[in-house]
Amino acid sequence: MLLILLGPPGAGKGTQAEQISEKYNLLHVSTGEILRESIKKGMPLGIKAREYIDRGELVPDKVIVGIIEERLESDGGAGGFLLDGFPRTVAQARSLDVVLERKGKSIDSVILIDVDEEELVLRLSGRRVCRDCGDGYHIKFLPPQVRNVCDRCGGELYQRDDDSIEVVKQRMHVYREQTEPLVAYYKNNNLLAKVDGAQDVEGVFRQISRLLDNLA
Ligand code: AMP
């Protein structure tokens, strides 16, 4: 199975991707996580990506497509792949189609998690991430048991630089301009399924699970 999670920043793609990949044995591929990991390790990819990420802009397509191509070389999870945060431009989507065609693979479904913008700003500004394992929290909607400490691994929680209000606004703008056209792109290919992302985490997960159970 090859799934894509699509949606604006703060829609809950990362949280849902964690749970879905576990339930359906998918390899969770998050381009944002891969980039943040490269930054943490001081790798050349990270150094290059950082200037874009900190401004709320997209990392160039060529760099991102290279990362995805490499990940798709692996066997994935027993159930396949879950792409989270990729593609983010029509050019990336076209490149993905080419890569998959070469491998004799195809996309099974693109799940759009839909949330309105006001709600997204509220969510992003309260978001916290574990420095060690990358788990996501929210100070109001999904607080850890102990303030600033990850429930799973005990790591320190922090606010991503790109979750500051100015950068969030820029990321929303970039989403509308560059990523939203993918909704029409995948609708035209009959791959798009829409989920109401305004529900709580469990509600969204149930809706996605129903969609995936119908695919199997
Ligand atoms: P995310 O964690 O998915 O919100 O990604 C954080 C940041 O990483 C984005 O704001 C972009 O700067 C960069 N990024 C992640 N995925 C992509 C992608 N597919 N294309 C371009 N930039 C990306």
Asked if 14 contacts 20 with a C-beta cutoff of 8 angstroms, the reply is no
| Minimum-distance ligand 1 atom for the alpha carbon of 87 | 19
Q: Give the per-residue pLDDT at 74.
A: 86
pLDDT at 69 (0 to 100): 92
User: Ligand 1 atom 1: the closest Cα is on which residue?
Assistant: 32
Is the pLDDT score of 110 beyond 90? yes
| Residue of 16, 28, 31, 55 to test ligand 1 pocket, by largest number of atoms within 8 Å of CB | 31
Ligand 1 binding site (Cβ under 6 Å of any ligand atom): 9, 31-32, 35, 52-53, 57-59, 64, 85-88, 92, 162, 171
Ligand 1 site-directed mutation target among 6, 35, 57, 96, most atoms within 8 Å of CB = 35
| pLDDT at 56 > cutoff 80 | yes
C-alpha–C-alpha distance, residues 160 and 130, integer Å: 10
Between 164 and 115, whose confidence is greater? 115
Sheet holding 109-114, edge to edge: 26-30, 80-84, 2-6, 109-114, 192-196
Instruction: Count CB-CB contacts under 10 A for residue 126.
Output: 17
Q: What is the mean pLDDT of residues 76-98?
A: 94
pLDDT band at 181 (very low <50, low <70, confident <90, very high): very high
Could you give the CA distance from residue 201 to residue 190 in angstroms, rounded to a whole number? 26
- Tell me which DSSP letter residue 60 carries: P
pLDDT-derived band at 141 (thresholds 50, 70, 90) equals: confident
**Is-cis flag, bond preceding 87, omega within 30?**
yes
β partners of residue 110 = 4, 192
Q: Which residues are catalytic?
A: 13, 88, 127, 160, 171
- Determine the average pLDDT of the residues in 198-216: 93
